Structure formats: C-alpha cells, structure tokens
Amino acid sequence: MKTRYVVIVLAACLIVTAAIGWNMLKPTTSGPAVVVYKSPTCGCCIKWADLLEEAGYEVESINQNADALQTTKKKYGVLRGLESCHTAVVDDRYVIEGHVPIASIRRLLEEKPDVVGLAVPGMPIGSPGMEGPNPVAYDVLAFDEKGSTLYERIMP
C-alpha cells in the first residue's frame, strides 16, 4: 500500500514539474498589443504583422473587405493621401497606417507625441513587408486631425 502511494505521489510530482517546465518554454510577448485591420488576401500585410510578432508585439489581425477597411480608416482618423493597405492600432492609443518600420513605432511609443499616429502612404518598395529589389527612400509621417508632418525619412 505504501509503495502504491509513493508511486502516485511521484507521478503527480512529475506531471506538475512537466507542466511548469512546458509553460516556461512557451514563447511570451512583452510588447504592446497591436490590432491590424487588413484584407485577408494581402500578403504584404501578413508579412508586416509577422515582423511585429517577431519583434515581440502581441498582434491580432482582423480581416476586412475593402468597404469595411475604408470605414476603419475613417473611424481612426486616417487622412486622405496617407492611406495604405492596412491600418493598425497600437496599445489602444496610436494609429499606424501602412508599412511603418518597427523602429519608428518604438520611437513613437517612447516619445508619446500628441499625434493620432504614423503613416507610410502607399506601399514603398523596401518598407517592412514590402521587401524587394530596388528599394526606395520613403517618409514616415506623423498625423493628427489637422494634417501631417515629417516624422522621419527612411533611406534604402
């Protein structure tokens, strides 16, 4: 009887130890939460979201059709001329429009300027998620309800 009890206790200890060890091996995210609104068929949006996850951000992707995506852009204050293929909200605070580099997002979150968010209009080759031959220089713009200003220039 004692042997059976010892075996049961040892088995329980092994199960608990294994469970604790498994939880320690699971990847964890430590970056802010990002909600990405995108088309379900847009490969560059998927690449951009994957880059955010690799950088430690907790990413939720919400697929939308073109009309719903335009409604989302309006809801979050994305100005005409700043649009790109996806819109994201970081940390329930800032709007990120398009292929904004992760370094720019980090800077935004550190500096906390009084803006709606950042945008990379269009889909410039060489921006995150739009990797390819012949990358081009592009601008990251800070914007609010009144307009936009240069936040930084990205050189290839």
Residue 26 belongs to a domain: no
pLDDT digits (tens, 9 = 90+) for 29-38: 467 999 999 9
Tokens of 19: 């469970």
- 13 pLDDT higher than 80: no
> How many angstroms separate the CA atoms of 118 and 56, rounded?
19
Instruction: State the CATH number of the domain containing residue 53.
Output: 3.40.30.10
Residue 56 belongs to a domain: yes
What burial letters (b/e) apply to 72-97, b meaning 16+ CB within 10 Å?
bbeebebbeebbbbbbbbbeeebbbb
Residue 128 belongs to a domain: yes
Residue 67 belongs to a domain: yes
User: What pLDDT sits at residue 12?
Assistant: 40
**pTM of this prediction?**
0.80
Mean pLDDT rounded to a whole number for the chain? 86
Q: Where are the alpha helices (DSSP H) in the chain?
A: 2-25, 43-54, 66-75, 102-111
Residue 130 belongs to a domain: yes
Residue 41 belongs to a domain: yes
Tokens of 132: 């390819």
Its sign, for the CA torsion 133, 134, 137, 139, is negative
Whole-angstrom CA distances from 65 to 25, 37, 86 are: 37, 10, 11
Residue 72 belongs to a domain: yes
Compute CA 98 distance to the chain's CA centroid, rounded to the nearest angstrom.
11
Number of domains observed in the structure of the chain: 1
Range of the domain at 103: 31-154
Confidence of residue 1 (pLDDT cuts 50, 70, 90): low
- 86 pLDDT higher than 90: yes
Residue 74 belongs to a domain: yes
pLDDT digits (tens, 9 = 90+) for 128-145: 999 999 999 999 999 999
